[in-house]
Structure 1
Amino acid sequence: MPKKTPPKLPKLLNTKIYKTGQTRGADDDVIYQNRVNRKSTVLIPFALWNKVSAAPEGEESFESGFICLLTPKEFFETDNIQQVLADKGLSLGTNALVFYQIRTDWEDFNPEDQGWSPANSRTSPLLGQYVARIAATTADHGEKISRGFNTTGMKGAGIRLFEYATTKRINECRIQLEAIFWLCHDSLDSVTEFNMIQEEAIERRDYCLAEAQNSGLLDFELLKEARMVNEQHQTICPLCLEPLSSYGFFNRLVQATGREVHDLTVTEINLFHIKELRYGEYNHRAYNLGWGHHHCNVVVKDSGIDETLSWMEGVVARNKDSGYMN
């Protein structure tokens, strides 16, 4: 018998959960791809190669491969660079590129003088030896230099290494994140208000929680330890620990009067990495992704919860000592 398909989630919620498997945004002035799957080609800085180039534990390689990026100085000023690369399993134009970001490097080590071509393939061969993203300057009237991975069908060379996740991890995170949504105290109320029939909402909730349980993704002790739920098994914000209302998944962020943006799509509740993304770790994984307030997420940024709490403690202490707080 084919597996029964559960009722569909409201579109906005379904899209929000689906997008957790995508990387953060990136504009045309950087080398990264914009909002693509986390299993895409990863970009690894040569300076960090020895420390961070290994694929996630249990994986032999990256699903969509990798590109190692060298600075012009690393390539041109390292003795016997071709052998150095070969010893690491790297080769220029095959899985490694020289990445130009500084105008003086472009002038001192101009790739066109080397007879090089800008790369435009994310898989071997890369169809070139370099890529460039150099900002325009007003002081010396320097033009913007953008070479390689800048066409409509080939925007960006790859993704940030620390944003990478395997297909399996992406799917596990989506299952767990939906389950955490259903643990909000008013989840049934919100989804029925956003066009789900009550019976279908209950069926979808029970299906998701059972799937999470059967996949080992609903261990409440681990969820509580990770700051995702409280003692009552209700969903909370990982920073402020306030129980979350599921309506925050649908409601747009409140904007200051007179500073409204007409096309704002940010909701009150967003994806929240418990342990921050960083080189050397693959933290887009189950039991490390929760839901949190947009503003709490902005405060934490890339610092991590513990470091942020220590900073906040100092802020409060100084305000008390100065008489601004009782």
Structure 2
Amino acid sequence: MSTLRVGTRASELARTQSGLIADAITARTGRETVLVPVSTEGDVSTAPLASLGGTGVFVSALRDALLAGEVDVAVHSLKDLPTAAADGIALAAVPEREDPRDAIIARDGLTLGELPVGSKVGTGSPRRVAQLEALGLGIELVGLRGNVDTRIGQVTSGKLDAVVLARAGLARLGRAGEITETIDPIQVLPAPGQGALAIECRASDTELVAALAAALDDPHTRAAVECERMVLAELEAGCSAPVGALAEVVEGEDGAELWIRAVASSLDGALSVRLSASGPYDDPIGLGRKLAAEMIADGAHTLLDRGTLDNPVLHPHPNTSGK
């Protein structure tokens, strides 16, 4: 059999994640793999993600490479995927999810609540900004782009007091030991799909789609992220919008069911709609739509419409945009 070409972004985290998937493909299907780096718009620009349009900036180039026959498989952080389906592309597998929560890496081993008033905390995410502002901790939130090393380096150099990152990425890089606090979703809900990976290939490669699904797909993770992403889609919000959602498979009276929590916020965190719902495990799309409808009825669209691409709370910080 021919070697499968696995498309990946060029960052250390992306290559690590794609390498884990490539190794799993080989171990579970017997197919040899090779990583093929692909440069994306989100990688080459230092502008805030929201100003690039947010949705799809890390995805489009990989999908183009798939459709052009330059790679056979593409690996994405699932939270980066647009919610709309892409012509000719199949989501073949969603492997078991890493811990989806956000994490703090702070100076002196401090937790979020221990940071002094006025501490500078770096993040490039409007979702995190809105929810952190809502906590009223008196911290100063600073715009931040770049790879994991660049971001953590802002703390070790003393330029920032803390940074907020996805725990899953740190765990995959073997850097979970540097986390000073994993943030409870009660305080900050993660992005829809955070912690999960998406394995895409050409829809016309039906045998490969079936093989990847059988080898790598985790039904519980897929159900959870489908539910979360349906909330995002129904709210008509992109992956850079101040929307958080987390669905989990739990044991109900009649067997497995889904429980989901979601929040939509104004960019300054002053107002939010936060709701939860539960429903059948085998209908994640229906449950996501139901929760989104309740959020819209409570004014979620109005809050999201208050936002602009330039977050008034997020102050750029010198030398924090390195790739």
Instruction: Please indicate the TM-score interval, normalised by the length of the shorter structure.
Output: under 0.3
TM-score, normalisation: structure 1: 0.23
Structure ranking higher on relative contact order (CA contacts 8 Å, 6+ apart):
2
Determine which structure has more spread, i.e. the larger CA radius of gyration. Answer: 1
TM-score, normalisation: structure 2: 0.24
